[in-house]
Structure 1
């Protein structure tokens, strides 16, 4: 049995904190649990509760300091994307509709092995995924 019990958080960078926080709040009902103003030794930071004990830690930096091409697989760095979990296909379909209403660039729901999967891009162009277990 693994020692770990899952992911605690994923950290990401943005050049527009307010836009990203609003997007995740609108798309996933994420809640801000911590915010730190920029200091000389640390960028502005927000922690978003994504549910289930998982968080998204967002650091604000200049666009010039974000390395890579978020739109191209292989150009996004060693962590290509992350997947958010939802509890059912019905919730996944509702999430798809909500993302569509928000104007997100989304794909189609597809079954990948034992998971239903929906890829989308956040306002920074980062490709992400929403998944749920497929009923057997």
Structure 2
């Protein structure tokens, strides 16, 4: 039995922190729980509460400091993508509709094993997934 209780946070980088914070707030109702101004040796940072004890820690860096190609699987660096959990297929469908309204690049809801899954790209082009248990 694992001693961990799940993910605490995922850390990612962006060249436009304000745009990413607004996107996650609008798309998922994420709330800012911490903000840090840039300091010597540490970039500007925001922590977003994604619910269920999970957070997204976002660091603002220069475009040239983001290594990899976020649009190509295998070229994205050590974290390929992360999945956000929702409680039901109904919530997943509402999330799909909200992402469309926000102009996100999205796929279709699909069944992957015991999960319903929806892939999308955030404003930086990072591929992400929203999932819920099926049945």
Structure 1 alignment gaps of length 5 or more: none
The question of 1:59 aligning with 2:65 is answered: no
- The alignment's TM-score, normalised by the length of structure 2, stands at 0.99
Runs of 4+ aligned structure 1 residues displaced above 6 Å come to: none
Measure, in 2, the Cα distance between the counterparts of 1:78 and 1:114.
26
Measure, in 2, the Cα distance between the counterparts of 1:112 and 1:25.
27
> Paired residue for 2:132?
132
Cα RMSD over matched residues? 0.4
> Paired residue for 1:30?
30
- The alignment's TM-score, normalised by the length of structure 1, stands at 0.99
Measure, in 2, the Cα distance between the counterparts of 1:129 and 1:93.
13
Measure, in 1, the Cα distance between the counterparts of 2:133 and 2:19.
30
User: Residues 82-101 of structure 1: matches in 2 within 5 Å?
Assistant: 82-101=82-101
Q: Secondary structure at the match of 1:3?
A: coil
User: 1:55, CA displacement in angstroms?
Assistant: 0.1
CA offsets 1:37-65 (integer angstroms, 9 cap, x no match): 00112100000000000000000000000
